[in-house]
Structure 1
């Protein structure tokens, strides 16, 4: 019998892929996001004097709010990798 008891302490329901703050700086490359190094100064006085920038995204990019691949789609992606093709060629008879 399965009994649902809820999430355990520290357990995540969804995997965070990019935070709102990272998405503000990230470059959408179509198949992936390029996230630049966070080279901001730790001198927080600068933010008071110069101000920061507004975060445009209202939510984090998570495994819950993105397209999930089916098993078949993941298999197709893996089969296209040169390393997988090489490995599969070695075991094929």
Structure 2
């Protein structure tokens, strides 16, 4: 199912990362006109640089400093949002292996925060970006992304009367990411 961004408020977690920035560029140049595109990330410098390329004076942009590990900040950012594209992750395999606690907090805890906040804020659709490393994982990164995937899919069965829908997209190795 393709997302129609016309007139929608869209938030991209990890919006200053390689995939988040590419998604921002594609959405803005798709011919569809989102009402608002929110870049949510914890990297102030990358947000500053991105704002040079996509200034709020020319694009329907909003730059929101935050970390998916902080539920209150995530919940605040999701107010009035229609679609969430969850691209935030601790993704470097070797760094995850040396920092397992941080990887779990970001990739699993962050997913839990996105799910809970999206349900409570009445977000229409959440698309979580995953990885081929979640298929039969052999490292911590893959295991945390598999766990995240399962959480997002299970959220569809636990959402009660909420209109929020969750999906996961797995991609292969992306050049330059």
Q: Same fold (TM over 0.5)?
A: no
Q: Tell which structure's C-alpha radius of gyration is larger.
A: 1
Determine which structure has the larger strand proportion and give its number.
2
Shorter-chain TM-score tier: under 0.3
Higher helix share: 2
Which of structures 1 and 2 has the larger relative contact order (alpha carbons within 8 angstroms, sep 6+)?
Answer: 1
Q: TM-score, normalised by structure 2?
A: 0.17
